[in-house]
Chain A
């Protein structure tokens, strides 16, 4: 096992690489630390599969190098790189039993029989398949087959990394809870470097210690789930993480004072005089409905999902979402909103700007 370093890595599918836009994967410099759990999150077409294929050796990058530990593996084949991969759909040998399927990667490398038995037993127990070991794989449901794929991914303890390509897409919601926890336990137990590619924010955030968010061939932020949620580095992260995503509205900022349509918003930092397209971002969870204080809104729709209600409202010309906890009543005279001042983000030309802290905290909304 070793860390994986990407040095000035970039890839273009066509030979013409004069413009930035020609690159499906723009320049990446990143180190995947040994033994950590990562998620690579982004919509389809953002370049995450390109990056995955470059790491597994299925694709040669146009530029840059990949190092496993200190060793340059850019020119090495997939087999030489010693990587395990789990795909979206279960890949199992139907004619073999579950046990034989799990043992396959070990047997291929000529491991000792006693070691194989012990290891297969252990993995099967971790993923709850020990009762099925002697069963033919063909008789199992898709869920169980995908469990075999996961098990086969972790059965070798000498791989450099395990890459998961949307492994839970075809799994039922209830089963996802179980598989996700098992995957986390497997990571704790065996300590492999795991890189989990997905477009599903819930899967990414719940699985990973660090999430890498990609947009348009570019890594826009690398952070813990909390950082992505509370301090998105780019408007795309604000929009993509969270359901519904972050609310954005144009604002003019001067120092620690924001102004939206004549209403003053107190900010908790001093942003100076940002030049460019300045936008205020606030998550639905940090907007509160009030009876008269703050900005005026018109409520369009209330959707109840049991533990929460989602209110859709119009604030001047902008549509915004508000999350209301189940216990809170929404009354007819709740016509205004206030923002939690600590949770306001300011973006300039799509990127987050950090203000300098104020001497004295000001009130939320004047």
Chain B
């Protein structure tokens, strides 16, 4: 028994899923409101044909969660990825943040099944898919390079994954129009990839990845090859696309600000290790160690050595401050304090601030702000101050630093103290 054609208006997993959540689902056909099957949900599975059951199990298998358990990878005897544990939920945006060759692409390839891990396992909805071929997984990937079929029009490029799935023409057309609208490709659907701009080419590649409504979308630095302004534009669109799709998104980037703008969760990567995973703002504000703090700071985080004795912290300039609760309990010894560039203040000497004499190495203007590179306390610091400030290179500056903005790290790089503003904050 096959369901009558007319109740399959727009059979897409998104609709099916929305239906399922509303629990008004017709399990015999994927129509939104089905009048052919008497409300559908009352139809017993036993009455269905094998084909229908397969169709149902296919969308049931859509990834709800993706879990990596102790996944590691070596290449030529050299450890590439140290055991990674990550759990990503359906409908979440997950940013992999780290410098080049930190292992972002390797982790994505393991998630996708393009590479098999040496140890550990990948689970979808608690089912081990480690040995499953990439073709049989429910994924799409967008690369840094714009990958499109040069001989096909934008329309055919976007439609290609659906054609492979042998979807009906009308459904393909609906779906392509819908996604083209979302990505502002509608006016150029009949052009060839080499007749459109780089930004449009990447939009086309993104559209192709999203059109088949997969459970897992992997984006490997998708904006890196685009112009600055185009990047800005597309970056603000990606969260919207993601919200519309309900898939698990994984997005690799080297830029901390991009990670914050995308929101969601961040996993920071460094030399093949995931150093921290959590809500993006949380990782930014409460990094667990020095490496995470460095990875999540642009301009780079500034450091200075401090000595802790009892519940007092002594700074290189001789000033002291109260050690926070966490730090006060630790042994008396040298620690490192870290702070972000925008916490440096120039000029004035408020009594409650740390005061340093710094030598100006170089200034960089951005129009609205000024970056100052300083030598202070035997360290190299970068400060970000508002407005356009003109200084002489080599000039001595009075620098103010609020101890409330300091992170503290021990000799292993573990964080042992948070800025005062963060200690009261409840971790999300």
Contacts and interface: CB of A to CB of B under 8 A. Distances in A.
Contacts of A142: 100
A226 B364 contact: no
Given A205-B365, A242-B368, A177 B299 contact: yes
A274 interface: no
B227 A44 contact: yes
Given A188-B393, A205-B365, A285-B368, A174 B384 contact: no
B198 A205 contact: no
A83 B299 CA distance: 33
Interface string B206-246: 00000000000000000000011110100000000000000
Contact of B366 (A225, A283, A325): A225
Contacts of A188: 393
Interface string B347-364: 000000000000001101
Nearest to B342: A307
B388 A226 contact: yes
B119 interface: no
A328 to B, nearest CB: 13
Interface string A154-191: 00000000000000000011110100110011001000
A283 B388 CA distance: 15
A173 B342 CA distance: 17
Contact of B100 (A172, A205, A206): A172
B261 A173 contact: no
A200 B228 contact: yes
Interface stretch (B163-171, B250-258, B311-319): B250-258
A275 interface: no
A303 B230 CA distance: 18
A275 B407 CA distance: 56
A243 interface: yes
Contacts of B382: 177
A304 B298 contact: no
B260 A304 contact: yes
Interface string A119-157: 000000000000000000000011100000000000000
Nearest to A284: B368
A10 B224 CA distance: 32
A242 B367 contact: yes
**Residue of B99, B260, B294, B366 most packed against chain A (CB within 10 A):** B366
Given A174-B99, A306-B260, A180 B229 contact: no
A240 interface: yes
A245 B368 CA distance: 11
Interface residue tally on B, bucketed by range: 35 or more
Nearest to B373: A181
Nearest to A211: B367
A201 B368 CA distance: 12
A206 B371 contact: yes
Contacts of B361: 181
Interface in A177-226: 177, 180-181, 184-185, 188, 199-202, 205-207, 224-226
A199 B232 CA distance: 13
Contacts of B393: 188
Interface in A21-79: 43-45
Contacts of B300: 174, 177
A230 interface: yes
Nearest to B361: A181
Contacts of A243: 228, 232
A226 B365 contact: yes
A22 B228 CA distance: 26
A278 to B, nearest CB: 24
Contacts of B371: 206
B260 A245 contact: no
A305 B260 contact: yes
B244 to A, nearest CB: 15
For the complex of A and B, list the 3 residue pairs with the smallest distance between their C-beta atoms, beginning with the closest: A229-B367, A206-B364, A307-B342
10 contacts: A173-B255, A174-B300, A181-B361, A181-B362, A181-B373, A226-B388, A242-B367, A304-B260, A306-B257, A325-B386
Given A188-B393, A243-B232, 18 more contacts: A173-B255, A184-B362, A185-B362, A199-B228, A199-B229, A200-B228, A201-B366, A202-B366, A207-B364, A228-B367, A229-B388, A230-B367, A242-B368, A306-B257, A306-B260, A306-B281, A306-B285, A307-B340
Interface of B: 99-101, 197-198, 227-230, 232, 254-257, 260-261, 263, 281, 284-285, 294, 298-300, 340, 342, 361-362, 364-368, 371, 373, 382, 384, 386, 388, 393
